[in-house]
A and B are shown apart, each in its own frame.
Chain A
Amino acid sequence: MNTLLIIAGKELREATRNRWVVATTLLMAALALTLSFLGSVPTGTVGVGPVEVTIVSLSSLTIFLLPLIALLLSFDAVVGEIDRGTMTLLLSYPVARWQLLLGKFLGHAAVIALATVVGYGAAGVALAMGDTAIGPDSWRAFASMIGSSVMLGAAFTALGYLASTIVRDRGTAAGIAVAVWLCFVLLYDMALLGILASGSGLGVETLNWLLLANPADAYRLFNLTGFKGVSSFAGTAGLATHVQLSVPLLLAVMAGWIAAPLALAAALFSRKQI
C-alpha cells in the first residue's frame, strides 16, 4: 500500500511540475464557467434550473475533452519510462510490477480527479452565487456529473495504460491513443446512429448492450437519463424510458471500464520483456 502511494505521489508531483495539473484544471474551469454562464441566461422562462442546463452542456463537452486529456496523460506512462531507462531502474527496486503500474495509474487518475473536481467545482460555485435558488436534487445531479466525469477520465487513462503497455514505441502508443479516442468518442456513436437510421431493426436489448460497450456512452446515459430534471431537458426523456439501464448498472459498467483495461495492462506488463 505504501509503495503504491509513493509511486502515485511521485506521478502527481511530476504532473504538477509539468503544469499538466494547472493547464487541465484551468481548461476545465474555463469551459465549465463559460457553459454555466451561458446556461443561466435562458432559464427564466423555460423553467429549467441553471444547474440542469449546465449538466447537459458540460457532460456533452466532457465526453469529447476528458478522454482526450486522459489519453494524452497516460499513453506515455509505461513506454516512456522504458525509453528513458527509468523502468529498468524502478524494477530493480523492491517493487512488484503490478504495484508500479497501479501506483502510476493512481497518480494519473488523481491528476484527472483534481482537475475535474476543481475545474467543474468552480462552475458549481459560480452557479451557487447566482440569483436562482437551486434545489438539493440539482446539486446531487451536479455532484454525480463530477463524480462520473472522474470515472470517465479514469477509464480512458486505463485504456491509455493498455496502449502504453502493448507497444514498444512511443509514437505507436500515441497513435493508438488517438485511435482509441476517435473510435470510442466519435466513430462509435456515428456507426450506431447509422445502423439505427438504416432501420435494420436493432432490438432494444442489443442497443442496450452496444451502449454499454463504450464507456463514453455509459457516461452519457448516466448523466442525461439518470436524473429526472436533466433528462426532461436534455430531450432524452423518451430514450430514458426505452433504455432499461439502471444507475447502478451504468456505474458498474464504468467501473468495469476502469478495471478491465488496467488488469489487462498489468497482466501484459508482468510478462513484458524489459
Chain B
Amino acid sequence: MTDFTAEVQGVTKRYGETAAVRGVDLTLAPGECVAMVGHNGAGKSSLIKLMLGLTTPTEGRIRVLGGDPASAACSPIRRRIGFLPENVAFHPSMTGRETLDFYARLKGASRRDNDALFATVGLEPAAIKRRVSIYSKGMRQRLALAQALLGGPKLLFLDEPTTGLDPALRQSFYAIVAELRDRGTTILLCSHALTELEGQADRVVVMNRGRKVADGSLATLRSLAQLPVRIRLTLPAGGIDTLAGRVGEGAALTRLAGGVVELACANDDKVALVRRIACDGPAIKDIEIVQPSLDEMYAHFLRREAAE
C-alpha cells in the first residue's frame, strides 16, 4: 500500500500496431497539481483514459485510489474521481440544472450540493434554468467543470480545460483549481497552453510520442534543460559598445529593437553577470530578467528526445 493517489508503473498501451503510451511511470501524490504537456497525439489523453479505467494497459500496472480502475469493482473508486473531457457537448435541449442533476444521480452524489457547485464554478442561477444550447463556450466549460467536481473528488483529471476560454475565465478557472488543490485534491491537468500553467502546477510532465520525456518541478526542469537565462537591458545611445566590453565570456549579446540588448547566459552565471553590468557598466535605464518559459523547455525536451 502506498500513499500515492495514482500510480502508473511501466504502462504501455498499443492500439494494433501503434503504441499510444510507451513504458510510462507516473505517480500522483495527494494535494498535488501536476501538469501534463505534449503535442496532440503525445499520449496525454490515452494516459488519462487508462487511469480512468476506460481502457486497460497492454503492459504494466495502474493503481488509482488504491485499486484497479478498470476492474469490475471499481465503482467506489470512480465515485471519487472527477473528469473533465477535452470535448464534451451536453445534450442541447436539457437545462444546466437537469444536466448536473443527471450526472449527480449517476455518481450517487447528493443533488443538494449542486447549487453550491454552480456557485463555485460561477454559473448564474438564471443561466442554470436555461437550455445548454444557448450556453456560451465559457458557460459550457463551467458546467463541465461542475460535473467534474460532483461528490468532492479526491482525484481530478482535467483534459485541456481552458481551450476556448477568455483570459478572465482562465484566471477564475485556475483559482478554482488552486482552491481544490489546497483542500487535498490531486489534480492532473493537460494543456497546450504552457505559459498559463506556470505558477499553477507543482510538477510538469512532458510527454512526447507516448513517452514521458521529463518530469519534475519547473525549477528542476529548468536546471535539467540548462537553457540560458536572458537579461534584457535598455541602454542609452552609445551604451551598447561599452557594454559589449563588460560582458565577457559565457554570455551572448543580441541587439533587439528599440535600443534593447539581450544577454543570454547560463543560470549559474546570472547573478555575477548582473553585478558586473550594474556596478561598473554603462548607465542602465531598465533591466528585465527572462527565465526560460515552459514553452522553451518543452521545445528543448522534444529536441533532445528527437536527437536520441
Contacts and interface: CB of A to CB of B under 8 A. Distances in A.
Contact of A92 (B52, B72, B102, B105): B52
A242 interface: no
Nearest to B78: A94
A152 to B, nearest CB: 27
A93 B54 contact: no
A251 to B, nearest CB: 34
A18 B93 contact: yes
A6 B107 contact: no
A99 to B, nearest CB: 10
A84 B89 contact: yes
B78 A84 contact: no
Interface stretch (A9-17, A166-174, A181-189, A217-225): A9-17
Contact of A17 (B53, B74, B93, B105): B93
B83 interface: yes
A88 B53 CA distance: 11
Given A85-B85, A89-B88, A95-B106, A13 B98 contact: yes
Nearest to B107: A93
B49 A88 contact: yes
A94 B102 CA distance: 13
B119 interface: no
Nearest to B93: A17
A20 to B, nearest CB: 10
B259 interface: no
Interface in A64-103: 84-86, 88-96
Nearest to A95: B106
A273 B78 contact: no
Interface string A1-29: 00100110010011001100000000000
Contacts of A274: 49, 54-55
B94 interface: yes
Contacts of B76: 94
Given A274-B54, A274-B55, A14 B88 contact: no
Interface string A93-131: 111100000000000000000000000000000000000
Interface residues of A, number: 22
A139 B278 CA distance: 102
A18 B93 CA distance: 7
Interface string B103-116: 10111100000000
Given A92-B78, A92-B83, A274-B55, A86 B106 contact: no
Interface string B58-100: 0000000000000010111011010101111111011000100
B91 to A, nearest CB: 5
B147 interface: yes
Contacts of B75: 94
Nearest to B53: A92
B55 A273 contact: yes
B95 to A, nearest CB: 9
A101 B49 CA distance: 20
Nearest to B87: A85
B108 A13 contact: no
Contacts of B105: 6
A93 B103 contact: yes
Given A86-B89, A273-B55, A94 B94 contact: no
Nearest to A83: B89
A219 to B, nearest CB: 32
A17 B132 CA distance: 12
A273 B15 contact: yes
A1 B86 CA distance: 30
B90 A86 contact: yes
A274 B83 CA distance: 15
A82 to B, nearest CB: 11
Interface string A182-199: 000000000000000000
A89 B85 contact: yes
A3 B72 CA distance: 15
Interface string A229-251: 00000000000000000000000
B101 to A, nearest CB: 9
A85 B49 contact: no
Nearest to A91: B54
A3 B88 CA distance: 21
B134 to A, nearest CB: 14
B39 to A, nearest CB: 20
A92 B108 CA distance: 13
11 contacts: A3-B106, A6-B105, A14-B91, A14-B94, A88-B83, A89-B85, A92-B52, A92-B81, A94-B75, A94-B78, A274-B55
Among all A-B residue pairs, the 7 with the closest Cβ atoms = A94-B75, A17-B93, A84-B89, A85-B88, A94-B78, A92-B83, A85-B87
Given A86-B91, A89-B147, A92-B83, 19 more contacts: A14-B91, A14-B94, A17-B91, A85-B86, A86-B89, A88-B88, A89-B85, A90-B106, A91-B52, A91-B54, A92-B53, A92-B54, A93-B78, A93-B107, A94-B78, A94-B106, A95-B106, A96-B72, A273-B55
Interface of A: 3, 6-7, 10, 13-14, 17-18, 84-86, 88-96, 273-274
